[in-house]
Amino acid sequence: MASERVWYDPVRSEVHAATYVVCHTVVALLIIAATRIIALILEYFGDPKLYDEFPVRYIFDTVDLVIFLAFLFTGAISAWYAFKE
């Protein structure tokens, strides 16, 4: 019984870590895909411009970048706290 716990705890910890990372990655990709779909629809209708100067697709590109950086930063911090135990 004791030898069974030797390998089980590290494997359980690694599965927990992998699940955590995969779930956060999937959520980030879904959010980025949703904003990308909206941007593609806008481009299909002629790439509208905000105030006749600023293409709206720049806003969606910026949103993609912000989502990526936010998930990277907050995911790293929350993973640090989650896996510290």
Looking at the predicted structure, is the pLDDT value of residue 2 above 60? no
Residues 35 and 24: their CA atoms lie apart, in Å, by 17
Position 45 scores a pLDDT of: 81
The string of pLDDT tens digits covering residues 21-75 is 788 888 888 888 888 888 888 888 887 787 878 887 788 888 888 888 888 888 7
Q: Is the pTM of this model over 0.75?
A: no
Higher-confidence position of 60 and 7: 60
Residues 57 and 68: their CA atoms lie apart, in Å, by 17
Position 3 scores a pLDDT of: 58
- Residue 25's Cα: distance from chain center in Å? 4
Looking at the predicted structure, is the pLDDT value of residue 8 above 80? no
The domain locations on the chain are 2-84
